[in-house]
Amino acid sequence: MNPETKNKLSYKLSTASIVLIPIAIGINYLGKYIAGVLRLPLWLDSIGTVLSGMLAGPVIGAASGIINNVIYGVTADPISTVYAVTSAVIGLMAGLFAAKGWFKDIKTVLLAGLIIGVVAATVSTPLNILFLGGQTGNVWGDALYVFADFEWATAMAGFFLGQHRCGCAG
């Protein structure tokens, strides 16, 4: 492991990282609030978590995410506290990918984002099932859940895939 990577993975609570945590929390809180008010089809509550992980390392990224979820849970939506686990994983992964140099070119940035998104969804899914009956708590995600819950949706998907196998009709 080269010294630069080792330094990014080491945990040192500096003044900059202490200042970064509340900034990241503010970005997350505002993002979640805006996404909720505008009923956007995405979550915006991890931007600060990812930034803090990238800039200050995985521990600070995880801490920013966890603290944000606890604060949002206490002040706005109690279920948010449960998803502190997901936020911790997002912050850890962003910090680890940054330490490995994944945020230096567009291909690895996109790949890191895809991996973090899939892992976050994987962590959140059991929480959704346990606490929200499988729904997501996001109007668009819940609409997709309800749509997929209909038996005809499965049949239609089968008909569609059967008709359009390999991307060609007929």
pLDDT digits (tens, 9 = 90+) for 105-163: 999 999 999 999 999 999 998 998 899 888 887 777 777 777 666 666 666 666 566 55
User: Is residue 112 located within the same domain as residue 155?
Assistant: no
For the cut 90, the answer to whether the pLDDT of residue 168 exceeds it is: no
Residue 61 shares a structural domain with residue 132: yes
Number of domains in the chain: 2
The reply to whether 109 and 37 lie within a common domain is: yes
What mean pLDDT, rounded, does the chain reach?
A: 86
Considering the domain architecture, whether residues 113 and 158 belong to the same structural domain is answered as no
Choice between 25 and 13, residue whose per-residue pLDDT is larger: 25
pTM score, two decimals?
Answer: 0.81
Q: Which residue has the higher pLDDT, 165 or 101?
A: 101
Domain limits for position 46? 3-137
Q: Residue 53's pLDDT is what?
A: 97
Residues 10 and 52 in one domain: yes
Same domain, 112 and 152: no
Same domain membership, residue 49 and residue 8: yes
CA-to-CA distance for 83 and 134, rounded, in angstroms? 14
Same domain, 100 and 147: no
